[in-house]
């Protein structure tokens, strides 16, 4: 496995730290659009809005576009008639400019739609679950003494073609008492996390990138930035690992993949709307410290791997997306094994982190509270000799591929 593809893998299905766009939760309410089965929904006056990470839609107008009818509305419940059947939505409405609004995900899913968000067009997309075959992805189940953990392998960058997910994902999530993630990427724009990124990812001693990499590496960074209409010294303040991840994420977005459509953020948004507790298996501090702890040589090696193959990165992103959508265990394992080509990289990125994650899952399964956990971490963490699946099996658990 080429090292430049390994760098892509680390961003797309192992770490989503710097790929997360500033979440809508940090902004004032903004207008959004709504599309149902590729048909734009026109609103006469009151458009959908994004407020604190939740997309709210005018309830009656949206139901009308779904051929559904609004029944009674109480403090914590909305009664809707869909195909002649009354369904109860456990959600509060919000009165905006005299119009009842409700979370679009709760309304859409109750009506039989998969719901996801297109960041580029600021559009909520509802797709009837009867119109397409859901992506297979990576999903396992582990049970112990009344507790269940559903283990989901995420791809942190995705696009519309990933959705709707298979019904097994939605059914497992609906039963969950907790959502577990590597880190809560919806908090990427929090002031403390942004400060941590700047403190660890930039030079604090007056030096710049030019002082820490070879002349050739620095020239390649400048040339790629220039070709993309950016000043060649725009990244001077950043360390090589930040430049590597930033350039990779920008190339991924050029290929049409966004963190806003990532599998982990998809479930984080659903958890926020359900008021479901979100638990982190890692932390911003641990992930940032891992990258910052890479040796100077490894940081420049990884950066050069991306720079030397910058023009073909989008092709490999597409290949990785297909691996996820088809749920190809063999190809995922091949990619995961590519980490072993560099001992320092493999130990930091996978081996050490997998041990911590597996121990936490073990703790969830042993707490004796008859709880269900829906765990979403990068797909690269699960397979292989040092993967979470093997570590759990070594602890005596039976892990079932779903």
Three-state SS letters, 8-28: HHHHHCCCCCCCCCCCHHHCC
For residue 101, give every residue at least 6 positions away whose Cβ sits within 8 Å of its Cβ, in sequence order, or none. Answer: 46, 49, 56, 57, 58, 59, 93, 94, 95
Of 125-129, 141-145, 191-195, which gets the smallest average pLDDT?
Answer: 125-129
Q: For the chain, what is the mean pLDDT?
A: 84
Distance CA 183, CA 215 (A): 36
Residues 259-299: pLDDT tens digits? 777 899 899 988 998 889 999 999 989 999 999 999 999 99
Q: Is the pLDDT of residue 29 over 60?
A: no
The CA-based angle 299-301-305, given to 5 degrees, is 120
More confident residue, 222 or 51: 222
Q: pLDDT value at position 27? A: 40
Distance CA 138, CA 384 (A): 14
Averaged pLDDT for residues 374-386: 95
Q: pLDDT value at position 188? A: 77
Kindly report the pTM of this predicted structure: 0.74
Of 34-38, 91-95, 170-174, which gets the smallest average pLDDT?
Answer: 91-95
Averaged pLDDT for residues 156-182: 89
When pLDDT is cut at 50, 70 and 90, the band that residue 24 belongs to is very low
Q: pLDDT value at position 133? A: 58
Structural domain spans, the chain: 3-18+137-202+238-401, 24-118
Q: Is the pLDDT of residue 8 over 70?
A: no
Residues 295-354: pLDDT tens digits? 999 999 999 988 998 888 877 788 888 899 899 999 899 888 887 888 999 999 999 999
Q: Which residue, 160, 320, 305, 197, is CA-closest to 247?
A: 305
């Amino acid at each position: 496995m080429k090292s430049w593809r390994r760098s892509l893998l680390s961003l797309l299905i192992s770490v989503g730290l710097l790929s997360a766009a500033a979440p809508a939760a940090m902004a004032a309410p903004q207008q959004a659009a709504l599309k149902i089965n590729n048909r734009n929904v026109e609103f006469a006056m009151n458009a959908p809005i994004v407020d604190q990470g939740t997309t709210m839609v005018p309830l009656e107008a949206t139901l009308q576009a779904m051929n559904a009818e609004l029944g009674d509305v109480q403090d914590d419940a909305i009664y809707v008639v869909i195909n002649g059947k009354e369904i109860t939505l456990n959600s509060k409405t919000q009165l905006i400019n005299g119009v009842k609004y409700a979370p679009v995900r709760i309304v859409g899913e109750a009506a039989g739609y998969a719901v996801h968000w297109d960041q580029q067009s600021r559009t909520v997309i509802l797709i009837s679950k009867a119109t397409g075959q859901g992506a297979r992805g990576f999903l396992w189940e582990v049970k112990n003494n009344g507790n269940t953990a559903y283990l989901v392998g995420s791809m942190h960058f995705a696009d519309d073609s990933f959705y709707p997910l298979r019904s097994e994902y939605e059914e497992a999530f609906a039963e969950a008492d907790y959502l577990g993630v590597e880190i809560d990427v919806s908090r990427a724009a929090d002031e403390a996390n942004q400060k941590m990124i700047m403190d660890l990812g930039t030079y604090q001693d007056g030096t710049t990138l030019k002082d820490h990499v070879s002349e050739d590496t620095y020239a390649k960074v400048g040339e790629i930035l220039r070709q993309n209409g950016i000043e060649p010294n725009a990244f001077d303040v950043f360390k090589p690992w930040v430049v590597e991840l930033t350039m990779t994420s920008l190339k991924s977005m050029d290929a049409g993949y966004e963190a806003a459509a990532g599998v982990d953020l998809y479930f984080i948004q659903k958890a926020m709307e359900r008021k479901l507790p979100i638990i982190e298996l890692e932390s911003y501090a641990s992930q940032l410290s891992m990258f910052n702890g890479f040796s100077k040589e490894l940081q420049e090696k990884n950066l050069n791997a991306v720079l030397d193959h910058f023009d073909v990165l989008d092709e490999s992103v597409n290949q990785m997306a297909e691996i996820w959508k088809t749920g190809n265990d063999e190809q995922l394992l091949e990619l995961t094994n590519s980490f072993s080509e560099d001992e320092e990289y493999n130990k930091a990125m996978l081996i050490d982190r997998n041990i911590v994650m597996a121990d936490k899952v073990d703790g969830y399964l042993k707490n004796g509270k008859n709880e269900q956990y829906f765990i979403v971490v990068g797909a690269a963490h699960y397979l292989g000799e040092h993967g979470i699946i093997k570590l759990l099996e070594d602890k005596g658990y039976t892990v079932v591929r779903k």
